[in-house]
Structure 1
């Protein structure tokens, strides 16, 4: 196994004029929380947590929040497999979807990145149980350089998963939004880089030592061909969501999407995001829908950081739209986000793992296909889904 030293140089990057509109400051000019600054967030801007709970209770009482049946879900899944060495393929980007928003990306440079890792059966004591098994565990990952966290919600940031990743890969570096580094530091994890929207970072990994255990020829070969140096470019970019590790921490840390480029291949990881707010009484693609405000930041991402070789874009956890549209993209939203961000190809994530909302658990890929047909993209194969644990090359 090869060790690498890790150096990070972060700085503000090219940004639109309103790049700090998400900073909410008090009367003394102190940053106290973050917010979604555009009309696309809609009615949730003025809804408090107690009122949101009342709306949830009303919807439940009215039967508008059915619990989806997972007993016959039959989501395609396979045991994840990874490249035996960092330079097994010097041209392709290899992505393995591990369920929900968790993705493992193997860049042609040798860089290995993990996004929003949660390996547990339940992500909290109150969460539903996985209805598809985890595709792997942290001990199965052959190499890991960096972990990117989109936000602090429990289904995207798991303390047991993070601690196990650090145990297995002690040199791993975490990249998080503003305000979230303290959570890691309180848990004894200090290899954390905290970034704001539109910040860039240049990362250098330099090989320091190789330790080959036993006489395994595959291990010897991997250590021999691991690159001397790996260069990575990272951008912390907007999304439309929120944060709340506990009720007293609402929006105290920043949610984000991430762009990562290494070995001439780029990935944009959307994490968890909405696109437009759909009020009660408006149906998707129905009268008035196309006039709803869209989040302009996705077009800004495409213009200022794109194009990207691959987008990892959420397509699940979207019903009912009045409740979830400000923070969760529907498959139709996902296709527009794909177009706005100038991704050359995309995989649908954030579905098929936990039943978090009311749509049937098998529905997101079906709705994605319908959305692609509406946009004239159905036959292109540019935006696809895969089995949990499956790897795709781009």
Structure 2
């Protein structure tokens, strides 16, 4: 029986896509093998001790970005190229298993379990060089001095507002209550605690990749060139189409000084570091731009790590910690969207892997984000938070490892390292929390 023209076209598309996917997998694995062999040769020809290997400049070549057929690919042995076939298979299996994604209760019960706090806007303005250029000190004796103050406010998914000695950063901006558009696609189960207009203007906006849950294009239209956009390779073009040219575009391992005219006495830098993930806003632009994580340094000391989205790589985070300094003050790690593991593991970490990254970076504190905002995977919507809190309790680190709370403003003292006995102190009539 002769096949119809639509059937022939369909089979041709499937065959072409399959051939392309196989080629990409082959070419990426070939490059990974070559780099691994080169690394082993360098180690064998050196006098390095095992503990000295991570952070060596010659070894980061293993994790330089690269492309196959004009699209970025992952250079990690832990990564497995995934296809549309796997995506649809995971959805079909969910249907057969009869699982309700996330097990989200009614809204009233949901808000009991996931309360939304109002950010401490007054403190955020007081801690911002844009609103307080003279660095006027607070009358609250519990607050760290302006110069030593870090404030952190989680706004959902990987969107947070951070102020470091008055320099403001917005990560992976997302304020909309939906992905893609208001009618199709996932809706937020937890709205943003505020509007972008309520926050002090950020000096810098850090975008880790262009997935819709990490880059709300409406924010680009609102902030435009008022802030400096820090983006991975390939995203400059998208912003330029919107008339945005105040951009720092970075490749993995690029390290640049950040221009902060209000604070010339301090030296701020940002490093674009690798992550194991992917990019794309629709089927045709998959991996056309890079994805990344970021390290913020002040006076050559690591202060903040924004992991973006990433799977766990055995030696990557040790390499980042060794190269840019251990003792990072705060790492923001995505602890949700990890089920089913067979499908999500190459691209997302779970709470246990957050602890591994904390140890690899030797970070003083970590905060788990990327959960409770949307339902994008099959674990219970509260599981990432509960697992992370359980791990913190078992490790006796409840003041060092915690899950984010929507809208709550946290304060840290940059002049002090972790206290032997940590504290979680409500301040400013409960509007903020001081973490020691």
Tell me the distance in 1 between the aligned counterparts of 2:105 and 2:172.
23
In structure 2, the CA distance between the partners of 1:273 and 1:65, relative to structure 1 (3 Å rule), is farther
Q: Which has the larger radius of gyration?
A: 2
2:309 to 263, 267, 272: 272
1:105 aligns with 2:124: no
**1:173 positional shift:** 0.5
**Aligned twin of 2:248:** 193
**Aligned twin of 2:72:** 34
1:95 to 135, 152, 173: 152
**Aligned twin of 1:253:** 289
5+ unaligned residues in a row in structure 1: which ranges? Answer: 1-12, 27-31, 208-226, 276-293
Equivalenced residue count is: 331
Tell me the distance in 2 between the aligned counterparts of 1:67 and 1:364.
11
TM-score (norm 2): 0.71
Structure 2 counterparts to residues 140-289 of structure 1, below 5 A: 140-166=198-224, 170-207=225-262, 227=263, 231-262=267-298, 266-275=303-312
1:77–1:135: 8 Å Cα contact kept in structure 2?
Answer: yes
Tell me the distance in 2 between the aligned counterparts of 1:90 and 1:20.
35
The structure 1 segments of at least 4 consecutive aligned residues displaced by more than 6 Å after TM superposition are none
Tell me the distance in 1 between the aligned counterparts of 2:159 and 2:233.
21
Tell me the distance in 1 between the aligned counterparts of 2:379 and 2:90.
18
**1:21 positional shift:** 4.5
**Aligned twin of 2:364:** 344
In structure 2, the CA distance between the partners of 1:299 and 1:389, relative to structure 1 (3 Å rule), is same
**1:380 positional shift:** 5.0
**Aligned twin of 1:354:** 374
More helix by share: 2
Which has the bigger relative contact order, CA under 8 A and spacing at least 6?
A: 1
2:171 to 89, 94, 115: 115
1:368 aligns with 2:388: yes
Structure 2 counterparts to residues 3-152 of structure 1, below 5 A: 14=57, 16-19=59-62, 21-26=64-69, 32-41=70-79, 44-45=80-81, 47-63=82-98, 66-71=101-106, 72-73=109-110, 74-81=113-120, 82-84=124-126, 85-86=128-129, 87=135, 88=137, 89-108=146-165, 110-125=166-181, 126-152=184-210
In structure 2, the CA distance between the partners of 1:254 and 1:55, relative to structure 1 (3 Å rule), is same
1:65–1:320: 8 Å Cα contact kept in structure 2?
Answer: no
Q: Deviations over 1:321-360 (max 9, x none)?
A: 1111111111111111111122111111111211111111
5+ unaligned residues in a row in structure 2: which ranges? Answer: 1-55, 130-134, 138-145, 413-436
Deviates more, 1:319-328 or 1:127-136: 127-136
In structure 2, the CA distance between the partners of 1:138 and 1:380, relative to structure 1 (3 Å rule), is closer
In structure 2, the CA distance between the partners of 1:17 and 1:139, relative to structure 1 (3 Å rule), is closer
**Aligned twin of 2:25:** none
**1:131 positional shift:** 1.7
SS at 1:113 equivalent: strand
1:299 aligns with 2:318: yes
**Aligned twin of 2:333:** 313
2:307–2:331: 8 Å Cα contact kept in structure 1?
Answer: yes
**1:113 positional shift:** 0.6
In structure 2, the CA distance between the partners of 1:127 and 1:266, relative to structure 1 (3 Å rule), is same
Q: CA-atom RMSD, angstroms? A: 2.2
